[in-house]
Amino acid sequence: MSQFNNVVRFIKRPDGKPTPDVFKIEKEQIRQLKPGEYLMRNAYLSMDPALVGRMRDEDNYVEKVNPGEVMQAYGIAQVIESNNPNVKVGSVRLGRIDMQQYSIFSDEEACKEINLGLASACSYLGAMGVNGSTAYFALKEICQPKAGETVLVSAGGSAVGSVAAQIAKNMGCKTVGIVSTDEKTKDIVRDYGFDAAVSYRGKSIDELTQDIKKVCPQGVDVYFDNTSGDISEAVLDTLNENARVAVVGRLGISHLADTKQDKGRRDHNIMLTKRVKKQGLVILDYQDRLRGAMIMLARWIKEGSIKGKEDIMHGIEQTPDAFFRMLAGQNQGKQLVKLADIDASVDPTPRWLGRLLISKWFPTEKLAKKITGGI
């Protein structure tokens, strides 16, 4: 094992939209483990829009990253050394491992053990994992789509938005996506089965509103809001009576140094006259039901009713580029960075059990619904 850990350090808060100079790659020595600690080799890092919010010096639903600290990120890692009796060497874990090649923990619950018999490591960071589960619970708890309704999804090609659309489609809904470019509208219709899609880049708010009305002539019953900002303002006049809006992302205001700078139309008149339900969702609130959602999503992936795509870059030195590629919407699928291979030969987790849970004759749906309340 290397005695050094290459890290992506966050060195200053951005003045507006993050730029490459907020990061610096550094090398540091890996210290000896203390009693109760375990060391992991990080295998995959997830590039997520929500990381921008952690750079700001403002209240958030999670702790912010401070200048001088290793930049936060979720990922998949494998334990290579352990002084913790509850953590086995070789186990594969999911958690906030940050942008670095190695990570040390003491709390075994900080990074939860996962079963790669259920799904691939990449799926745990995309369609089947936190992203997919966000889509699952936002639809179940807030949107509650019904067959025949129109579901509009901003950032429709994202790991969250694409899963939300596919679940809604499987429930008998019409699905429409909002993406950055005309090329991406074709991509999401082809890859994720959207009924229609519109692009926002280079358009005014009113122009985008008119484009949405053209592809949603019956109006919008459910708006899955991945972006906030001008895109979501454009949706207001397309909402039907008793529409439901789930707010799950803020990528559309990532250029602001402070979210208080976001200025736009007040939505109270629309919410009142059309009796719109609007609610935010943070997946951290669903930790006790996350496993059930993952099991159900894994089953859908195996059956082919849910599809996920990954866009993988390689090496810790590519991490900043991958992050900004994701922010610019240049990625084709879930943006990941691969740092190392996972050694299946030393993984003590019973992968046969994961495969059993999603086999065609196992009552997967019944189990998942019992845990989650289910869709």
More confident residue, 82 or 367: 82
Extract the runs of DSSP E, i.e. beta strands, from 183-219.
196-199
Q: What is the mean pLDDT of residues 136-154?
A: 96
Q: Are 345 and 205 in contact (CB under 8 A)?
A: no
Work out the pLDDT band at 12, boundaries 50, 70, 90.
very high
Taking CA atoms, 301 is separated from 3, 125, 174, 288, 356, in Å, by 39, 14, 20, 22, 14
Least confident of 52-66, 93-107, 252-266: 252-266
Fold type of domain 130-284: Rossmann fold (3.40.50)
* pLDDT score of 60 more than 90: no
Every domain of the chain and the residues it spans: 4-126+309-342, 130-284
Reduce the DSSP state of residue 119 to 3 states and report it. coil
Q: What is the pLDDT of residue 2?
A: 55
How far is Cα 218 from Cα 159, in angstroms, rounded to an integer?
27
Query: Which of these ranges, 94-103, 172-181, 259-268, 338-347, has the smallest mean pLDDT?
Result: 259-268
Q: What is the mean pLDDT of residues 12-27?
A: 93
Residue 207 reports pLDDT greater than 60: yes
Residue 259 has a pLDDT of 64
Residues 224-248 have a mean pLDDT of 95
Q: For residues 302 and 261, which has the higher predicted lDDT (pLDDT)?
A: 302
Strands 174-179 and 196-199 come out as: parallel
Is-contact 374 290, C-beta < 8 A? Answer: no
> Each residue of 244-300: pLDDT tens digit?
999 998 776 656 566 666 777 888 899 999 999 999 999 889 988 989 999 999 999
Burial 73-96 (b: 16+ CB within 10 A, else e): bbbbbbbbbbebeebbebbbbbbe
Handedness of CA 4, 129, 152, 61 (dihedral sign): negative
Return the pLDDT at 4. Answer: 94
Model pLDDT, residue 374: 78
Predicted pLDDT at 281: 94
Mean pLDDT of the chain: 93
- Average pLDDT, stretch 96-124? 95
Check if 4-126+309-342 and 130-284 are the same fold. no
Do 231 and 154 contact (CB within 8 A), yes or no? yes
pLDDT value of residue 329: 85
Tell me which CATH homologous superfamily contains domain 4-126+309-342.
Medium-chain alcohol dehydrogenases, catalytic domain (3.90.180.10)
133 pLDDT higher than 80: yes
Proportion of the chain above pLDDT 70, given as a percent: 96
Cα separation, 249 vs 238, in Å, equals: 20
Cross-strand bridge partners of residue 152: 176, 223
Of 94, 98, 11, 110, nearest in space to 47 by CA: 98
